[in-house]
Structure 1
Amino acid sequence: MGHRISKVYTKTGDDGLSGLADGSRLPKSHPRFEAMGALDLLNSQLGLLLAQLQQETAAHPELQQVVDALAPWQHILFDLGGELAMPQYQVVQQGHTAQLEQQIDQWTALLPPLKDFILPGGSILIAQTHLCRCEARTAERRCQQLHKLEPMRAEVLAFVNRLSDLFFVAARIIALHQGCAEVLWQAQPAPQA
């Protein structure tokens, strides 16, 4: 494979426009770039989570299963960003969403049923996984905004929707493997009139 990037800066975006793979240029604030940026941020948060998980596998070897389950999605997220940059490149398929659902179901079967809302916390890993969940929701909203302007494939919208569910259940499975109690929401008393 040859060099893909010869220069980090090109100066072509100084006018507030950025290019897509087909050579067209759009404002950097265009919903397409907003969606690409949200996916990139999610990918970065996931990278941080994977690095933190890797550090904890010595203390909790069962966390390697979580690393192995989540790591491939970082590549798919990058591919999805590529799909937004060049719509003819259609990498995300219905099978990807089915794989997410299978992993969610597999982890859910190991967890106690939910009776309360869960707050992000309990450990750094759990909180970081919830950050990924939140970033996945943001990416989904940005994709939906783009979809209103330029229809997106149903496979992509379903996939992005399912990602936050994966991270929610991943946070719970990490808590289980770390032996951390989940932080349960406690409703505050209603203010007195």
Structure 2
Amino acid sequence: MRIYTRTGDKGQTRIIGNDVLYKSDKRINAYGTVDELNSLVGLVAASLTDKTAELKDELQEIQQLLFDCGTDLATPEDDAKHEYIFKNDETVDWLEKKIDKYMAVAPQVKKFILPGGSVSASYLHVARTVTRRAEREIVSLMQDESINAEVLKFINRLSDYFFAAARYANVLEDVDDVLYRNSKPVFR
């Protein structure tokens, strides 16, 4: 199987529906950042310890969902041959339940915390920031073209999940979060 097309030699790529776009296009940036995030989630899952291993299955499920999100972001709305495949159904509810569970276990904080702690938590914080970047790229695309709005909703909630999962990983690893020393109370 040949994986190169030589289209990229001219700074272009073909998306679902056969449109050819420059690699700097907002659509390419959006699904490319989701692809980067998916790879990072794989790294997070591979870095889990015995204490944080319980997160592995849900991280792999998130990877499956991110692949669906990327597919939809690569699909123009007017492509008659392809339908959006990401369905929110219960995915946002599933993430919210995980967030609530993890935040109930983590010590309550009223100030900002520094991203870090255990290695697993640190990787989860990086995933959170890449998710936020993906969200910005998706919003930028959405301002010009129609997208599957369910993707944006999922990505928005996913960054909250990574924050909560990072705090939970620190609990599992028995590592304290570090408060940002100049933070005023922001959480109630």
Could you tell me which runs of 5 or more consecutive residues in structure 1 were left unpaired when the two chains were aligned: 1-5, 189-193
Match of 1:166 among 134, 140, 161: 161
Runs of 4+ in structure 1 deviating by more than 6 angstroms, as ranges, are none
What amino acid sits opposite 1:127 in the alignment?
A: S
Number of positions where the alignment pairs a residue of Structure 1 with one of Structure 2: 177
Match of 1:83 among 72, 76, 100: 72
1:51-70 Cα distance to aligned partner (Å, 9 max, x none)? 000xx11xx2xx22222222
RMSD: 1.5
Q: Matched residues in 1 for 2:170 and 2:154: separation?
A: 25
Structure 1 position 114 matched with structure 2 position 112: no
1:11 aligns to what? 6
Deviation at 1:33, TM superposition (A): 0.3
Deviation at 1:28, TM superposition (A): 0.9
Counterpart contact for 2:47–2:120, Cα < 8 Å: yes
Q: Matched residues in 2 for 1:47 and 1:125: separation?
A: 12
Match of 2:58 among 55, 65, 69: 69
Deviation at 1:161, TM superposition (A): 0.5
Counterpart contact for 1:104–1:166, Cα < 8 Å: yes
Counterpart contact for 1:49–1:129, Cα < 8 Å: yes
Deviation at 1:90, TM superposition (A): 2.5
Counterpart contact for 2:29–2:137, Cα < 8 Å: yes
Q: Percent identity?
A: 40
Structure 1 position 185 matched with structure 2 position 183: no
Could you tell me which runs of 5 or more consecutive residues in structure 2 were left unpaired when the two chains were aligned: 77-82, 184-188
Counterpart contact for 2:86–2:151, Cα < 8 Å: no
2:186 aligns to what? none
Q: Report the TM-score, using the length of structure 1 for normalisation.
A: 0.86
